[in-house]
Amino acid sequence: MRPVVGKRSEERDLSEPPNQISLTAMRFIVASKSTWSDLVLLATALHPKQWDKAAKKLSEQTGTGARTIKQKFKAIAHGIAKGFTIDALIARGQEAVISAYVKETKKARTDQLVAFPHRLTPQVRDGLEELYQRIGRVIGAKTFDDATEFILAAFADLPDQELKHLAGDGNAKEKQANQKRT
């Protein structure tokens, strides 16, 4: 009888030595659990400001994407914030911890969508699309809402004179001063 990967040990004939496939599968399982455990320990030992650099270094050495590693760091931090201990996060496993993080962050950012009732020319629409993509690329905004919030924050508190200046009216301050005199 040949041992089969996935069979419980009580179902295998223990008198036969494990084959190479079984040994390889066991090494993979142990390595995967060890990798998750090490990642949990790293994430909890590092300050969030260190995650980018650490993720980049780990990515270079492991071939795993830096974004993926950083996302795992965030999921682990989320688990800690929810009250899980390091040992509990390790025991829960990578899939459960990341899944809980993704579900909660998706739920937190999912608001009711509303129609934006303005009609735009194709040129303006294309320009807005390019602007949103540029903002996303430069500041790391992931959604149109994130980019729009950035635009609103950047322009909401500007004085009227500054808006006029940005619109190309370089004499806005002088004109306003003259208007106040008359």
Structural tokens at position 180: 């106040």
Q: What pLDDT digit, counting tens, does each position of 45-79 carry?
A: 999 999 999 999 999 998 888 889 999 999 999 99
Residue 71 burial (CB < 10 Å; 0-12/13-18/19+)?
A: middle
C-alpha to C-alpha distances, 6 to 2, 19, 29, 33, 167, nearest whole angstrom = 12, 13, 11, 16, 68
Q: How close are the terminal C-alpha atoms of the chain, in Å? A: 103
Q: What pLDDT digit, counting tens, does each position of 117-164 carry?
A: 788 899 999 999 999 899 888 888 888 888 888 888 888 877 888 888
Structural tokens at position 19: 């084959």
The pTM (predicted TM-score) of the whole model is 0.53
Task: Give dist(CA 72, CA 94) in Å, integer.
Answer: 8
Question: Is pLDDT at 2 greater than 60 in this prediction?
Answer: no
**Contact criterion met (CB below 8 Å) for 135 and 150:** yes
Q: What pLDDT digit, counting tens, does each position of 116-128 carry?
A: 778 889 999 999 9
